[in-house]
Structure 1
Amino acid sequence: MKTINMTVNGKVISGAAVEPRTQLADFVRDTLNLTGTHIGCEHGVCGACTLMVDGVPARSCITLAVACDGAKITTIEGMDDDEVMIALRAAFQREHALQCGYCTPGMLASAHDVVLRMPDATEADVRFAMSGNLCRCTGYVGITKAVLSVIEARRAAGVTKPVELRGEIGPVGSGHAEAMAADAIAKAASSSATTAKAAPAKTAATRAAPPVDSSKPMTTIEQTFTVEFPREQVWEFFGKLDQVTLCLPGASLLAPPTETHVEPKLRIKVGPIVADFEGAADVERDPANYVGMIYGSARDTKSASATRGEIRYTLVETQTDEGAAATRVDVQVGFALTGPLAQFSRSSIVLDIAKRMTDAFAANLRARLSHTGGADEAPPMPAAELNAGALVFSVIRDRIVGFFRKLFGGK
């Protein structure tokens, strides 16, 4: 969980706990009970969820709540006394600019921005500016007339100067990125003996997990493996996110990690297809119970494929057959794939592939735990890419072999 502070409709919200993947629309609706913000497509297309972030209209269904830490949020409920909004509501009613009303809160938020920014707008200008808000009922004629009537009334009253609230290029709310990074650095510095550990936090803290479709249910897989090392040693290693990441074949780092944040890149090959997933993940660790949680998402830089996932691992103290200290690692993975590569998560074969990937991870983990760091000893290197196609082929081959063994009475 992340703790955020923001001002919503003039009210200061302090210490709100949200998951890193929570969208702003879900936060204002579910946590703050401001249900005037409507959710439609959940892809940033229809505009029903539009609200104001620092005075600028934003799609709240594709805006992470943690990215708005320190921002000023205004929903439709917070615009009751706004002069422009009062005029727009009256114009919408007068020009019959709404029917079912579902799109109206987002439509009004966008219209508010148009009225302020475009005092000389023509009908064509208004239609183009409002084209990002979809309506299934009105045909847009009444909406266009309503917005134009407010612009014309303000122009007649001598209000002709445009109001531009966007002060910089970039995503809405991006002006708070520096403040968020500074806060992350301060927290890291307070819990660290040296400031050297806090320095890379600024690089990693500024990248949020890529937003992906959260509506698709996750596939859950449970795996277990054992490594012949004491639990304390394994737990300490799992805290080194750079080392743990490189235990996965095809994985590399986009930026230096912090104690709780990592930005991995995973290269996957499926036949002639090569996907490069880039993303970010946050880590929570419970040293009292030897339990860790990882939340993250990633997107392929070459296609529309995306993934989100949650990993929970538990370290259990055990022994080898010879009585030496060992650690059993129980892993529960929940993941969802969307886009062209989603087909590889729709078959039971994925369970066998996950087992083989777990075996590869365990082998790399053992190799790195065994690495003493001597001058003449190079650390184990990860595979250049994860060959999912080869994994699929080997799974099918083993299943065919197993089938014929059973058929002819073999073992």
Structure 2
Amino acid sequence: MNTVNLTINGKATSANCEPRTHLADFLRDNHNLTGTHIGCEHGVCGACTLLVDGVPARSCITFATACDGAEVTTVEGLDTDEIAAELRTAFMKEHGLQCGYCTPGMLVSARDVILRMQDPTEHDIRFIMSGNLCRCTGYVGITRAIQSVISDRRARGIAAIPDGGRVRLGPAGSGNAGAVSASQVARGTAAVSSLPKTTVPGTAPAASRKDDGWKPQTTFEQNFTVAHPIDVVWDFFGRVGEVASCLPGASLVGEPVDGHVEGQIKVKVGPISAEFHGVADIARNDATRTGTIDGTGKDKRSNSATRGRIGYAVKEGARPGETRVDVSIGFTLTGMLAQFSRSGLVQDVANRLIAVFVQNLEARLTHQAEGKPAEAAPVITEFDAGSLMSSVLVGQIKRLFAKLVRRR
């Protein structure tokens, strides 16, 4: 149990709670402040929004212990607040509430809009309030209520406060854990050592990510052979842009800098078309002819994200003039596309994708050996995992029937 000291609605309080207790539960269970409603418990619906050090925060995903020493204001603490009082009147007048479940969070967020925005348009208000969901009103009354309060206050000569009077950088409540305030930064007195240690992309190896304890959900190994000398193949793998061009749907954004590169890969899975944008850290060891690629990517359209690690080793082939490449692939996939990430299907699809990669690699190396521009080689540039999966499923069904026939 931890002791949490907060100033809640102007009163200093202290109570014990487990480290995992969220601020919303802490306020409701320990202090009977049930005006803070809990909806999705994922920080999405906004029903639990309150003020931490004057800044709106989602209390359902904020740990109470993380706010130790902060000032917390719930909807109950806004009883005498001028803006909140005007909003309550406007919400009733414009029919901005029905069941009322979202209303506490709506009032807190709307108050912040009025406090810091001088003359927002209807579109501005709708955009900013989109983080607070309502199942009843259709938002028309809510938007009108906020507009009316802003118009009345500006007509009375009450201007918006830039940034809502916020003086600290960082998440709500972080100023009570030694965060640097904006005024300190402006005066230039903040010590660099007090800030979290970060790495500038491209200036450090990928070890910081590799050593963070991440473990892939799915891992498998593969190997392939190309009919070209090992030195030629190893040299080719060092040209990241050309390697990426052999992978259907992949492309880079600029050239690698200090082993750090940005890129994207387009994937089509049936009706789903995804375009993962991300970054990767690349390391190569000329002595052992091994390398690693550690990367992350996200597709905004499907809200899917992935993290992966590829390790490869280039070795002499079984025959003279041939090269064998051993590949180890580990990845984690989340979001909509995760439904296609069952290891068996993924490995079969990956095998076929690697086959296409090898075909493209052979074409480029052959052109290079013949003195032709490697980029002029005919390559397969599109990757439709849906069609690949269809053939994979057909193959698996055939194998299943074959097993059944053999048993009979």
SS in structure 2 of the partner of residue 393 of structure 1: helix
1:355 aligned residue (330, 347, 351): 351
Deviations 1:48-74 (Å, cap 9, x if unpaired)?
A: xxxxxxxxxxxxxxxxxxxxxxxxxxx
TM-aligned CA distance change 1:133 to 1:215, over 3 Å: farther
Written as runs of structure 1 = structure 2, the 5 A alignment for 1:9-408 is 95-100=12-17, 102=19, 129=55, 131-132=57-58, 134=60, 144=71, 163=167, 165-166=181-182, 184=203, 217-258=216-257, 260-320=259-319, 324-372=320-368, 379-380=376-377, 383-405=380-402
TM-aligned CA distance change 1:215 to 1:133, over 3 Å: farther
TM-aligned CA distance change 1:131 to 1:97, over 3 Å: farther
Report the RMSD for the aligned CA atoms in angstroms: 4.6
What is the letter of the counterpart of residue 99 of structure 1?
A: N
State whether residues 53 and 72 of structure 2, in contact with CA within 8 Å, keep that contact through their aligned partners in structure 1. Answer: no
SS in structure 1 of the partner of residue 257 of structure 2: coil
What is the letter of the counterpart of residue 294 of structure 2?
A: Y
State whether residues 266 and 274 of structure 2, in contact with CA within 8 Å, keep that contact through their aligned partners in structure 1. Answer: yes
CA distance in 2 between counterparts of 1:374 and 1:309 reads: 35
SS in structure 1 of the partner of residue 357 of structure 2: helix
What is the letter of the counterpart of residue 379 of structure 1?
A: A
Q: Which residue of 1 aligns with 2:124?
A: none
Structure having the higher Rg: 2
TM-aligned CA distance change 1:182 to 1:333, over 3 Å: closer
TM-aligned CA distance change 1:382 to 1:282, over 3 Å: farther
TM-aligned CA distance change 1:126 to 1:319, over 3 Å: closer
Unpaired runs of at least 5, structure 2: 25-49, 78-164, 169-180, 187-191
What is the letter of the counterpart of residue 317 of structure 1?
A: E
Note the C-alpha offset of 1:264: 2.1
CA distance in 2 between counterparts of 1:297 and 1:393 reads: 27
Unpaired runs of at least 5, structure 1: 1-37, 39-87, 108-123, 149-160, 189-204
State whether residues 304 and 336 of structure 2, in contact with CA within 8 Å, keep that contact through their aligned partners in structure 1. Answer: yes
TM-aligned CA distance change 1:400 to 1:132, over 3 Å: closer
CA distance in 2 between counterparts of 1:371 and 1:339 reads: 40
CA distance in 2 between counterparts of 1:98 and 1:133 reads: 17
CA distance in 2 between counterparts of 1:233 and 1:270 reads: 34
Q: Which residue of 1 aligns with 2:42?
A: none
CA distance in 2 between counterparts of 1:137 and 1:367 reads: 59
Note the C-alpha offset of 1:379: 2.1
Aligned residues: 260
SS in structure 2 of the partner of residue 325 of structure 1: coil
Note the C-alpha offset of 1:128: 5.5
TM-aligned CA distance change 1:376 to 1:383, over 3 Å: closer
Note the C-alpha offset of 1:337: 0.3
CA distance in 2 between counterparts of 1:143 and 1:277 reads: 39
TM-aligned CA distance change 1:276 to 1:232, over 3 Å: same
Note the C-alpha offset of 1:403: 3.9
TM-aligned CA distance change 1:280 to 1:404, over 3 Å: same
SS in structure 1 of the partner of residue 313 of structure 2: strand
Note the C-alpha offset of 1:254: 2.2
Note the C-alpha offset of 1:99: 2.3
State whether residues 240 and 259 of structure 1, in contact with CA within 8 Å, keep that contact through their aligned partners in structure 2. Answer: no
Note the C-alpha offset of 1:262: 2.1
SS in structure 1 of the partner of residue 295 of structure 2: strand
Deviations 1:236-275 (Å, cap 9, x if unpaired)?
A: 1111110111111111112222351222211111111100
What is the letter of the counterpart of residue 349 of structure 1?
A: L
Note the C-alpha offset of 1:330: 0.5
State whether residues 201 and 260 of structure 2, in contact with CA within 8 Å, keep that contact through their aligned partners in structure 1. Answer: no
What is the letter of the counterpart of residue 238 of structure 1?
A: F
Which deviates more from structure 2 when the two are superposed, residues 233-242 or residues 257-266?
257-266
What is the letter of the counterpart of residue 131 of structure 1?
A: A
Higher relative contact order (CA 8 A, sep 6+): 1
What is the letter of the counterpart of residue 229 of structure 1?
A: H
